[in-house]
């Protein structure tokens, strides 16, 4: 209650009491929702437990049947309804952030399930079938039970693949399939999961080196059980899957590339654009931004060609980069050595741009051979903080004459540090936040940050030659072209050939990489938009901070602020940076 006394506006203690009660009540309701969501997460994801607690052994795979998805959808919907009953304004600042992120988290899950994206659990280079081969990498094998639980998970792959086959059949029935042109490159990866012998299987890796304290008898028994499961369950299940994909799925697959042409497709694609960019934006608006970025970056590339001293045309320079042996490693080890060189150079210079760095290390290794032929040029493979390994920056060593060295600096910045590893490792190390926020990864934030860090390579002095700088611009052009290609294919009727031509004429990417990338955009509508749209927003916020703060602007403080809340959608990032600018101007931050 407000009372006017002697011209002064006073607020009675009863009003403060009511406000405090409301804040306390809403905070308790929010805490209950957060606890219920985590209980659901632990229930639905075998082998998970609250941070700091010993996780139970996972003896089975996560269920992916239509019934499993329906059950989760109902639970998420119930949580969102409960969230809507909270008066957000009454919450503390930290709880308002938790509220906003939980709402984003739930609505993201609900969106993908409303469109039943589980009917298409595939991408152009990987999918549900390749994921199980990586399970062992996150397990800290110490006891006999650790190995027994893993063997039980391997046996459950039979059910896991069968459930996914049913989901794919539902996709066939409803016209929601992967286009044939993508399957042409993807189909070999199904047969590749079948090993000639158990010992050659990627699933057998944990049994090649086992702790001596287990003893010969126990180790021999566990190896025997693993071989039996791989030979009698895993391999036959993957053979059945490969046969299904070739004999049933491929003949029924669509030849139409455009997501907007699927049943309910126009709304679906528009929703995916907003989901992956975390912005209220249309496909046509994104397309126009992409065209403008392509033109701008092309002008910068022309300037770098002049600086290099090359006398030919743009297309001749591209041909020179794609074919001259000086730009290509001769062995997989040489390529990995170059990547490792850049990784360590960057590590030593990070304190100039960051006040806080993660504790978790990361390494460099080749993309697994089973994935490499149709896989992207590089990727980050993270790990839980309690895993027996750090994160890994994967470098594709397949087809070395398609993996130019002049793009390796930009790739290392993006996938390693200060890109994906630094950002995701810091997000896992957040303290005093709800557990769902640890590792939260809105695509526009995570991928936008990765692309932004490629430009940080200029400030870090990583680009040593004009060719390296052209490689950076070529990678930026790659992401700009994604805005044009993704929206072109999925909302404007673009052909695969037209998309390939745009990249061939404007970037130094190898033709092999260009084709695998275009297939990726076809297979994953909207996701490719996250990179450039996220980078543009971070650059916009940095420029705003520099302009408004002047001499008070501190690049380390800005980066720390961007990363301080973990992964967040762009609209929340903008709110946080605007608040930080005001606080810094007032000497509060």
Q: Are 380 and 394 in contact (CB under 8 A)?
A: yes
Alpha carbon distance 151, 228 (integer Å)? 10
Tell me the whole-structure pTM to 2 decimals: 0.89
Give pLDDT tens digits along the chain (589 positions).
333 334 434 444 444 455 566 668 889 999 999 999 999 999 999 999 998 888 899 999 999 999 999 999 999 999 999 999 999 998 999 999 999 999 999 999 999 999 999 999 999 888 999 999 989 988 889 999 999 999 999 999 999 999 999 999 999 999 999 999 999 999 999 999 999 999 999 999 999 999 999 999 999 999 999 999 999 999 999 999 999 999 999 999 999 999 988 878 899 999 999 999 999 999 999 999 999 999 999 999 999 999 999 999 999 999 999 999 999 999 999 999 999 999 999 999 999 999 999 999 999 999 988 778 877 788 899 988 888 889 999 999 998 988 999 999 999 999 999 999 999 999 999 999 999 999 899 999 999 999 999 999 999 999 999 999 999 999 999 999 999 999 999 999 999 999 999 999 998 888 888 898 999 999 999 999 999 999 999 999 999 999 999 999 999 999 999 999 999 999 999 999 999 999 999 887 6
Torsions phi, psi for 441 (to 5 deg): -135, 75
Number of alpha helices (DSSP H) and beta strands (DSSP E) in the chain: 22, 5
Rg (CA), the chain: 26
Torsions phi, psi for 377 (to 5 deg): -70, -25
Alpha carbon distance 88, 170 (integer Å)? 40
Q: In which region does residue 8 sit, left (phi positive, over 0), alpha (psi from -120 to 50) or beta (all else)?
A: beta
Instruction: Please write down the long-range contacts of 544-552, taking CB distance under 8 Å and 24 or more positions apart.
Output: 544/577, 544/578, 544/581, 545/577, 545/580, 545/581, 545/584, 548/581, 548/585, 549/581, 549/584, 549/585, 552/584, 552/585
> In the chain, what are the domain boundaries?
2-44+65-119, 131-255, 268-537
Written as six digits, the tokens of 573 are 């990032």
Give me the DSSP letters along 274-338: HHHHTSS--HHHHHHHHHHHHHHHHHHHHHHHHHHT--S-HHHHHHHHHH-GGGB-SSHHHHHHH
Alpha carbon distance 420, 404 (integer Å)? 21
**Nearest partner of 386 among 36, 48, 1, 28, judged by Cα:** 48
Alpha carbon distance 488, 495 (integer Å)? 8
Using CA atoms in the order 128, 133, 138, 144, what is the torsion angle rounded to 10 degrees? 130
């Amino acid at each position: 209650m407000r009372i006017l006394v002697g011209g002064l506006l006073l607020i009675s203690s009863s009003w403060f009491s009511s406000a405090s009660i409301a804040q306390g009540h809403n905070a308790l309701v929010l805490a209950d929702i957060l606890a219920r969501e985590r209980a659901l997460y632990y229930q639905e994801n075998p082998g998970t437990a609250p941070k700091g607690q010993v996780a139970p052994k996972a003896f089975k795979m996560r269920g992916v049947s239509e019934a499993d998805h329906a059950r989760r959808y109902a639970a998420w919907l119930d949580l969102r309804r409960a969230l809507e009953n909270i008066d957000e304004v009454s919450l503390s600042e930290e709880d308002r952030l938790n509220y906003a992120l939980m709402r984003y988290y739930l609505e993201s899950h609900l969106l993908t399930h409303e469109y039943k994206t589980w009917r298409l659990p595939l991408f152009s280079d990987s999918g549900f079938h390749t994921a199980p081969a990586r399970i062992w990498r996150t397990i800290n094998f110490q006891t006999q039970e650790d190995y027994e639980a893993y063997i039980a998970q391997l046996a459950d792959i039979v059910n896991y693949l069968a459930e996914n086959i049913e989901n794919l059949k539902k996709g066939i029935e409803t016209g929601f399939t992967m286009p044939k042109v993508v399957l042409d490159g993807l189909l070999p990866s199904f047969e590749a999961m079948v090993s000639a012998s158990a010992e050659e299987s990627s699933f057998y890796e944990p049994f090649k080196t086992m702790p001596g304290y287990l003893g010969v008898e126990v180790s021999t028994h566990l190896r025997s059980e693993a071989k039996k499961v791989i030979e009698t369950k895993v391999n036959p299940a993957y053979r059945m899957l490969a046969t299904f994909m070739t004999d049933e799925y491929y003949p029924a697959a669509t030849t139409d590339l455009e997501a907007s042409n699927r049943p309910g497709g126009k709304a679906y694609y528009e929703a995916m654009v907003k989901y992956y960019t975390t912005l209220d934006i249309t496909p046509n608006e994104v397309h126009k931004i992409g065209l403008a970025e392509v033109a701008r970056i092309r002008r910068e590339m022309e300037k770098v060609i002049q600086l290099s001293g090359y006398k030919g045309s743009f297309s001749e320079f591209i041909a020179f980069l794609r074919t001259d042996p000086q730009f290509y490693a001769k062995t997989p080890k040489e390529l990995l050595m170059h990547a490792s060189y850049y990784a360590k150079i960057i590590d030593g210079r990070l304190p100039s741009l960051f006040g806080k760095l993660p504790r978790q290390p990361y390494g460099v290794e080749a993309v697994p051979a089973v994935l490499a032929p149709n896989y992207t040029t590089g990727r980050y493979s993270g790990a839980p903080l309690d895993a027996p390994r750090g994160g890994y920056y994967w470098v594709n060593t397949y087809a070395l004459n398609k993996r130019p060295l002049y793009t390796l600096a930009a790739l290392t910045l993006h996938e390693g540090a200060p890109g994906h590893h630094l950002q995701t490792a810091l997000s896992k190390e957040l303290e005093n936040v709800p557990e769902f926020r640890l590792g939260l990864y809105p695509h526009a934030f995570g991928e936008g940050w990765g692309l932004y860090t490629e430009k940080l390579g200029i400030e870090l002095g990583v680009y040593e030659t004009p060719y390296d700088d052209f490689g950076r611009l070529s990678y930026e052009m790659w992401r700009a072209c994604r805005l044009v290609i993704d929206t072109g294919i999925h909302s404007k009727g673009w052909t695969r050939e037209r998309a390939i031509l745009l990249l061939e004429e404007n970037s130094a990417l190898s033709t092999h990489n260009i084709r695998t990338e275009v297939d990726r955009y076809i297979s994953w509508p909207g996701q490719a938009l996250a990179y450039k749209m996220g980078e543009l927003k971070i650059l916009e916020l940095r420029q705003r901070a520099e302009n408004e703060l002047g001499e008070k602007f501190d690049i380390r403080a800005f980066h720390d602020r961007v990363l301080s809340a973990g992964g967040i959608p762009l609209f929340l990032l903008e709110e946080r940076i605007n608040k930080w600018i005001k606080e810094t101007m007032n000497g509060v931050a």
